Amino acid sequence: MQRALTDFVRALRAADVRVSPAETLDAFRAVELIGWRERSQLKHALAAVLAKSADEADAFDACFEQFFRFDAFGESAPEASHDKSLEQASTANEPSAAPGEGQGGGGAGGSGGNTPDAPDTAADEESSAEAGAPGRSVAGARSPLGRQLMANDRNALAMAISQAARAHGLEDIKVFTQQGLYTRRILDSMGRGPLMDEILAGEAAAGESERALAAELRRRYERLRIRVRDHVEDQFLLHADAQGERLREQLLYRARLAAISRRDDALMRRAIERMARQLTAAHSRKRRVKQRGKLDVPRTLRRNMRYDGTLIELAWRSRQVERPRVFAICDVSGSVALYARFMLMFLYSLGDVLPKVRAFAFCSDLGEVTDLFQQHDLDEAMARTLAEHGQGSSDYGHALADFERLALADVDRRSTVLILGDARNNEGEARTDLLRKIYDRARRVIWLNPEPRVAWDTGDSVMGRYRAHCHQVNECGSLAQLERVVSDLLRHVH
């Protein structure tokens, strides 16, 4: 049982429930006090020591219900009644075996471990009326797994599957393609080989009882195989699905945003929210920060003159930390709209450290869309932005002129201007003079180009001309590159 609890903690960690070593020890103490018999009490006790937030409580509930599925190998009543009626029909319609011939059938009860009232062994072996040779009833399996199946001991089967799964390290399953491999390994470990030999021999036998037994064993084996397959799938979802999701997140983290399909939107959103939380935790500060570590000697001496120079009250140098004002100018033409969507999602997820984000969108005419992203969810806001500003070809010169009219007066030395676009101006006027005005007024001007650097200044791209009037120019075609730019932005805030 200690191994089971350790595996459960491992499954919780895979589901993003943070469990420390100390909390694991608390869980062991809780199980010692509560025990394993009362499932609801066990669940509440473990939840009290392992789930620390509403999100973790939800993840804990789902993980507990999946991990402690005590009825996973139960059988329905119709199947059980069919098994019983089949055995009764066999013993009623066929003559009993002679004394001393039925010793092999007792293994069905003995193997199961909790069937002391099994049918008489005389009923387990019989003579075939057709062939005149001794045969076996449906309860007379000889292989160990066959006897276990015919005993219909659910607890014993569940225990055997669990032991075989643990012996083959099922909790280490990584990818869904391994499910068939683990299913075969578990069945082989339980004794599939001898069972299949018995089934094939029975199907080829001349006696009706042998064929009936083989048919019944095959039916019960197929049920067992389905149980094992479902168990492997449950364990994959429990242990590997979260790891697989992290693997997919890592792939998406480095993939070009243009190559990401819409079906990965939910995963991308979770990845961005996780990165935003990490950046917020790393860079959150109060407006005024007391910098312990640098003593203000003149102020300390003046403050302690009333104590005859004894240093009783210390004074520390402090500085005011101004949160940045961010102006995000996004090209939302067809080639760049997806990048703009993810950048705005990222920026607005950083509300605690970037509370002053003003967003602008353009193809040719530029307009402010800040209210749309503050009043609507991302999908609705982006749809409205594209409907209002996403028609036509990019005209950066015209967009810079609109920005000068709408917001240049608000740009000051506390402002950072982020421009997202491929700088493909469709042979229009570049108006680098307007970008220079922004450069002179802002603290930083950062241009993010989603195209690879080798594509800059090719065709109708004028990236080289704009580059001279920016403090920083970055390729920003993936989530990893976007995170580095935003992290660098926060790191340079003073």
* Six token digits for residue 80: 């059980």
Question: Which portions of the chain are predicted below pLDDT 70?
Answer: 1, 14-16, 69-139, 174-176, 237-248, 261, 263, 282-293, 318-324, 335, 352-353, 492-494
* Six token digits for residue 400: 């810079």
* Six token digits for residue 328: 């995000």
CA dist 69 → 28, 62, 235, 237, 312 (Å): 20, 11, 11, 13, 64
Phi, psi for residue 459 in degrees, rounded to 5: 65, -130
* Secondary structure E strands in 45-185: 125-127, 134-136
pLDDT of residue 263: 66
User: Which residues are bridge partners to 418 per DSSP?
Assistant: 328, 446
Sheet with 472-475: strands ordered across: 366-368, 356-362, 325-331, 415-420, 444-449, 472-475
Dihedral, 349, 353, 358, 360 alpha carbons, nearest 10: -50
CA dist 67 → 19, 47, 186, 465 (Å): 16, 14, 18, 60
The alpha carbon of 44 is separated from its chain's Cα centroid by a whole number of angstroms, namely 24
pLDDT of residue 398: 93
Phi, psi for residue 301 in degrees, rounded to 5: -65, -45
Phi, psi for residue 418 in degrees, rounded to 5: -100, 125
In whole angstroms, what is the distance from residue 429 CA to residue 435 CA? 12
Using DSSP bridges, classify how beta strands 366-368 and 415-420 pair: parallel, antiparallel or unpaired: unpaired
